[in-house]
Amino acid sequence: MAQYDIWAVNPTSDDDYFRASATIAASGNIALLANDVGQYGTGYKVSITSNGADANKTFTVTGVKVGATGYNGVATETVTGPSATVVYSTNYYTRVSSISISAASTGGIKIGYGGDLAFPRTRIKGVFYIAVGTQGSITFTAQPNNTVILKVFTPADSTANDAMIPPEGILTTKSGNNDFAVMTLDQVSKVTVLCG
């Protein structure tokens, strides 16, 4: 019987993981509290929250995208600031090396991560979850072609369940650079994904 390296991940979010809420005095690089976002190459979108009017500011996020390798792995994107709300990056990052702002902020700015969990090339070996009182689903979608590779329908009860997955698992991506998969939860309170 073959042996594989298996790892587990639980989706999470943290809205002040990179920076606790405070005003930013001037344009330039923002000191970050951490850099790594996800374990085993997984990751999330960067979240930027303001309690003031900061839609006229831009934030430049630089980091390593989920599923990318080599020089193509490092991405830089510009995110328009929020006004008394939260905005998200377009890219899913497994590591963020820097974030800068175009001008001093009006309100307190906190920076974290959240949204759906993105997976690099791996095999899904098991899915354990707790459903809620309404039917829902756990969907894994391959990107960038937006193809559903696995959809687990969840029952309308608050029970712990597991999905039957073939022994070899389900591959999250093709072999191309910049391929990744995103897990979306609908009416699921908790989930653990086993990969290998």
Q: How confident is the model at residue 70, as a pLDDT? A: 63
- Rg of the chain's alpha carbons, rounded to an integer? 18
Q: What is the pLDDT of residues 128-174, one digit of tens each?
A: 999 998 999 999 999 988 999 999 999 998 888 998 888 889 999 87
Res 1 pLDDT > 50: no
- Rounded Cα distance between 191 and 136, Å, is 13
Q: Say whether pLDDT at 2 is over 80.
A: no
Residue 7 near residue 22 (C-beta atoms within 8 A): no
CA distance 101 to 108: 13
- Residue 118 and residue 140: Cα distance in Å, rounded? 9
In this prediction the pTM is 0.93
For the record, the structure tokens of 163 come out as: 């999905």
CA pair distance 58, 98, nearest whole angstrom: 14
- Amino acid at residue number 110: K
For the beta carbon of residue 180, count every other beta carbon within 10 angstroms. 24
Measured over the CA atoms of residue 46, residue 61, residue 42 and residue 65, the dihedral's sign is positive
Q: Which residue has the higher pLDDT, 93 or 73?
A: 93
